[in-house]
Structure 1
Amino acid sequence: MTPKELDIAFQNAVNSINNHVEPFPADVLLKLYAYYKHATNDQNSPSSSNPLINAFKTNALFQAQGLTPLEAKQKYIETVHQYFLYRK
């Protein structure tokens, strides 16, 4: 997959998550959060008003550290596909 194709697939995966109305399992959300942050080079710290949520987000980011933006995009896409595949 070319970088442009990966960008398009990533944006489609992000849109499918943003348009989904049912709640997601927390573990899936945390993975998606970490992959998205790495894929977009978002350096902002977790900003929830709940310290426990911030701790979980920080842990997810820690687990995904070392991924390149391209690898993070691919992981995000794979996680989205797996989630929707297993929901059926």
Structure 2
Amino acid sequence: MDSDLDIAFKEAFIEISKLKEAVAPDVMLKLYAYNKHANFGSNSPHYEKLDVRNAFKVNAWMQIKDMSSNDAKQEYIKLAKSLLNSKK
């Protein structure tokens, strides 16, 4: 059974996924990093082609490598709420 944190994280992900407006690249990288870390921990991603876009993603993810999965979920939720409230 999912914890309250897991449920809130999934709900935040769903709401962010519904956004139609553009989001600033630095915010998108943070959301990406928190999401990946919450789901996969600090396991390094493997890209067949490490282009500039993927390099930025990997860098964002590795910057939070010492964060716990639960902390990553909480930061994702906080950032998502802030972003969603600014779009209203």
* TM-score normalised by structure 1 residue count: 0.83
Gaps of 5+ in 1: none
- Whether the 8 Å contact between 2:16 and 2:84 is mirrored in structure 1 is no
Worse-matched range after superposition: 69-78 or 38-47: 38-47
Q: CA RMSD in A?
A: 2.1
Q: 1:78 to 1:66 in 2, by over 3 A?
A: same
Q: 1:21 to 1:50 in 2, by over 3 A?
A: farther
Aligned pair count? 86
Deviation at 1:8, TM superposition (A): 0.7
Which has the larger share of helix?
Answer: 1
SS of the equivalent of 2:13 reads: helix
Counterpart Cα distance in 1 of 2:9 and 2:35: 9
**Which amino acid in structure 2 is aligned with residue 10 of structure 1?**
F
* Alignment correspondent of 1:59: 59
Gaps of 5+ in 2: none
Deviation at 1:41, TM superposition (A): 1.3
Counterpart Cα distance in 1 of 2:48 and 2:19: 22
Deviation at 1:13, TM superposition (A): 0.3
Deviation at 1:51, TM superposition (A): 1.0
Q: 1:75 to 1:38 in 2, by over 3 A?
A: same
* Alignment correspondent of 2:34: 35
**Which amino acid in structure 2 is aligned with residue 83 of structure 1?**
L
Q: 1:56 to 1:79 in 2, by over 3 A?
A: same
Counterpart Cα distance in 2 of 1:48 and 1:20: 29
Q: Identity of paired residues, percent?
A: 37
SS of the equivalent of 2:40 reads: coil
